[in-house]
Amino acid sequence: MARNNTTLTGLLLLTAIPVVAGATRLGELTGGARITEENARFFHSPVPIVVHIVGATLFCVLGAFQVTGHRRGHGRLGRVVLLPAGMAAALSGLWMTLAYDLPEWDSALLNAFRLVFGIGMAVSLYLGYRAARRRNFRSHQRWMLWGYAIGLGAGTQVLTVGPFAVALGHQPGGLLRALAMAAGWLINLAVAEWYLRSRAAGSRRSRHESDRAGTVRPAGKLAA
């Protein structure tokens, strides 16, 4: 339980980064902020960015409780809120990648990464949903955790891109930015896979210890 609470806290802290950024962006859109070269694309076409922020916020925040084993209402919350929110975040991300003009610090390579991971997120969520319908809960857990890891990429990307921005004094661009952004998604996927394997190993150890305990003869039942 303590380990789950620690993991939950870490996920919520990581989620806080894109949540605050998203809330700031919504504030700009609804508060009549000055239109600049950096935010003009969002004012000209606000629907995908609004859908993306709302979907990603619900998916990442509530998903943290699903990932760490808080089971109350797990299935209903997943079907009614998390799956639609995650799909909305993934598909609106793809929409923005294809429809918005590239900022000067982005590149075609970064957009290719966004398409790959956005499609990967949507496919993972769909396969996770199908696995749950078939009551294959081990496969369901793996696919949904991979989808969650990709969805949480924006939080980790602050940590992979941020040091370069500090060192350079401005946002990195081109190949460096593309690779640093891809690293955020890949780190999350690697951690998700480690988490799945460590839990599986723990379950195997528990079963092994239970099996061994079951072979011990109770006191007073020694063979004659």
Q: Is the pLDDT of residue 219 over 60?
A: no
Q: Is the pLDDT of residue 223 over 60?
A: no
Q: Is the pLDDT of residue 84 over 90?
A: yes
Q: Is the pLDDT of residue 71 over 80?
A: no
What token pair was written down for 51? 């859908």
pLDDT at 214: 61
Q: Is the pLDDT of residue 35 over 50?
A: yes
pLDDT band at 136 (very low <50, low <70, confident <90, very high): very high
pLDDT tens sequence across 185-206? 999 999 999 988 887 776 666 6
The closest of 125, 139, 155, 124 to 60, measured between CA atoms, is 155
**Taken in order 87, 93, 98, 99, is the CA torsion positive or negative?**
positive
Q: Is the pLDDT of residue 13 over 50?
A: yes
The residues spanned by each domain of the chain are 2-211
Q: Which segment of 31-35, 163-167, 191-195 scores lowest on mean pLDDT?
A: 31-35
pTM, entire model: 0.85
pLDDT tens sequence across 47-67? 999 999 999 999 999 999 888
What token pair was written down for 87? 């799909």
